[in-house]
Chains A and B, each alone.
Chain A
């Protein structure tokens, strides 16, 4: 009843019965390890993702003559800038309907990092006209960057819209 282990051949019934029961459990686990399948995106739908990082302008002003005079000669920058950057503003229309508009604050504790946007938009398959607008300087009215794309979204297709100020703004991957 205690310490000494029972020799295995005496336990054939347990080995068989326990084995069968364990196998049923393992097969159940194996089934649930892949089924039922999970439908993450409805059928007949594609995905447009808008993802970008871009820095808003820094808030700068010209130094007064007095301020410049007070500084050592080698530090007389004409402008002083706050560390904090301006938020960027984004708007996105699909077939003339606005689907997304936001103002993204700069990142980082001091707000000195770029603003980030990540937005998923699920759409039924088909052709669309997407227009985008981005403003990164609150002191200027309107949007500095605008773009329009004609897309034809397939089922389960992923279209990524990105942004790069150095090469003319919005682009598709």
Chain B
């Protein structure tokens, strides 16, 4: 999709992220670390919350007095903790919604990837509920406002024996027991939130729950300085003989309250329900079309588990061998989780295009885009480039190089290309050099495509790019959809560099049988495409 709100939003994110790359560096770019930042903020809120609890009194009158005391007399530690507690919670709302919109814009929420999205929806409500119960505890004017408005809304459901709003009618009606209940809620709800956050990342492998050290330092530092410069305000004590006419509104956690005040309760509840149902249903409105899941070919699988380790979606499991071959394990693909990214094919030691006996079969392959078909595409693409300094580009479908171009092969993910394919292109003389053009560096659509590719090329992760591949003939470009101009410039410069190099000396050109097989595969591909 290149038009419409999603494409627009995606370009917007891409633009701002590339800008932030320059400020924070790609590794610490906060926009690429929103999930981990959410977790980090949660822990800041937890630690400061535990600390505040030491000084907090739970009685009706004591509560406010204790918050006033810690904010004024002990501003330098407990007061800072209170401001941190508040601002980190506020930031959580900001980070959460940015994260959510970004995942939507990047189309990471549909198809087989629905799970994180759907489990994220209750997270939204639990973040709000945690904040609301927190504000209630302070028992200042804002707390009183939150208490009355919330209880009026809750009472509209008519499920409580005694309307809660009656607790806040007059000073003599408020009990410390009710306060104890609130303290309990303000601990229980965040604990449930933690549980939900944990569930949220169960269907992806190696979910990042910690921001990089540098970003963590920056964030915590900024929060501490912010807390010192602008300590969280404390309103006058609550007084049930008055109405909190004007309050210090928290526009993050309490932004719904002015809405609650101005609309009938029925509309609010319908809105809450409607929003939740819509959000949960979004991954199917419309559903993503997904390719056929990866398929295992046991004859070519030795159970090495590289594909298990590289699959970003926990879709492959290692199971005991079933076919009598002398290996202990084989692998199994869970079709409900496989997004057909092809990363497993790129990881499999059997995925080598050099193989010439019989058909080209590997251990794990995509039925819609097999290794054999990929090799044929590469050979066909080589015909479309000529002259000096020819480049074949292995591109991913989510970065800057998604459109058709001579010599370009667009894959679901660059990590689908086994390193041996790069070797193959150069040593068979299909092109003078290979460009691998994926998503922006910390922004891989398939989570680990960029990282696995880099690590394979750097010989840190299996399968290695063979030493004999001349590194000056391989270029990696990590660029987002808004960076097509940079991509074009880099490719042109690469081609010029290649043209200036002497011809590659270890050339072992395509054998006639290979070429014939490729022609056959290409013909078959054309037939299926028509």
Contacts and interface: CB of A to CB of B under 8 A. Distances in A.
Interface in B124-164: 145, 149, 152, 155, 158, 161-163
A40 B222 contact: no
B28 A18 contact: yes
B491 to A, nearest CB: 20
B248 A34 contact: yes
Contacts of A133: none
Interface in B52-106: 83, 86-87, 90-91, 94
Given A1-B458, A33-B90, A14 B25 contact: yes
Interface stretch (B196-204, B209-217, B273-281, B409-417): B209-217
A33 B232 contact: yes
B230 A5 contact: no
Contacts of A11: 25, 28, 214
Q: Which of B83, B166, B245, B258 has the most C-beta atoms of chain A within 10 angstroms of its own C-beta?
A: B245
A51 B169 contact: yes
Given A14-B25, A32-B251, A27 B241 contact: no
A15 B222 CA distance: 11
A156 B243 contact: yes
Given A53-B162, A118-B165, A173-B170, A22 B246 contact: no
Interface in A5-56: 5-6, 8, 11, 14-15, 17-19, 21-23, 25-27, 29-43, 45-47, 49, 51, 53
Q: Which of A19, A43, A47, A157 has the most C-beta atoms of chain B within 10 angstroms of its own C-beta?
A: A19
Contacts of B245: 39-43, 45, 155-156
Given A1-B454, A33-B252, A113 B247 contact: no
Given A18-B24, A30-B226, A158 B213 contact: no
B226 A156 contact: no
B497 to A, nearest CB: 19
A160 to B, nearest CB: 4
Given A6-B27, A15-B218, A46-B243, A173 B169 contact: yes
Contacts of B169: 49, 51, 160, 162, 173
A140 interface: no
Interface residues of A, number: 51
Interface in B154-211: 155, 158, 161-163, 165-166, 169-170, 172-173
A26 B217 contact: no
B242 interface: yes
A118 B148 CA distance: 12
Contacts of B240: 158
A11 B29 CA distance: 13
Interface string A149-168: 00000011110101000000
B520 interface: no
Query: Interface majority SS on A: helix, strand, loop or mixed?
Result: mixed
A17 B23 contact: yes
Given A113-B161, A157-B242, A40 B252 contact: no
Given A14-B28, A14-B214, A40-B247, A156 B158 contact: no
A26 B163 contact: no
A25 B460 CA distance: 38
A55 to B, nearest CB: 13
B249 interface: yes
Size range of the chain B interface in the assembly: 35 or more
A2 B87 CA distance: 33
B247 A38 contact: yes
A34 B170 CA distance: 26
Contacts of A21: 20, 23-24
B246 A34 contact: no
Given A34-B248, A118-B165, A157 B243 contact: yes
A96 B249 CA distance: 38
Contact of A118 (B30, B152, B244): B152
Contacts of B217: 8, 15
Contacts of B241: 157-158
B165 A51 contact: yes
A88 B306 CA distance: 73
Contacts of B285: none
The 5 closest A-B pairs by CB, nearest first: A26-B226, A173-B170, A22-B222, A38-B249, A34-B248
26 contacts: A1-B458, A2-B451, A8-B214, A18-B30, A23-B226, A26-B87, A29-B91, A30-B232, A33-B250, A34-B248, A36-B249, A37-B248, A38-B258, A40-B258, A51-B163, A53-B163, A53-B166, A116-B155, A118-B152, A155-B245, A156-B242, A157-B243, A158-B240, A158-B242, A162-B169, A173-B169
Given A21-B20, A22-B30, 9 more contacts: A8-B217, A23-B222, A23-B225, A26-B226, A27-B229, A34-B233, A51-B169, A157-B243, A162-B170
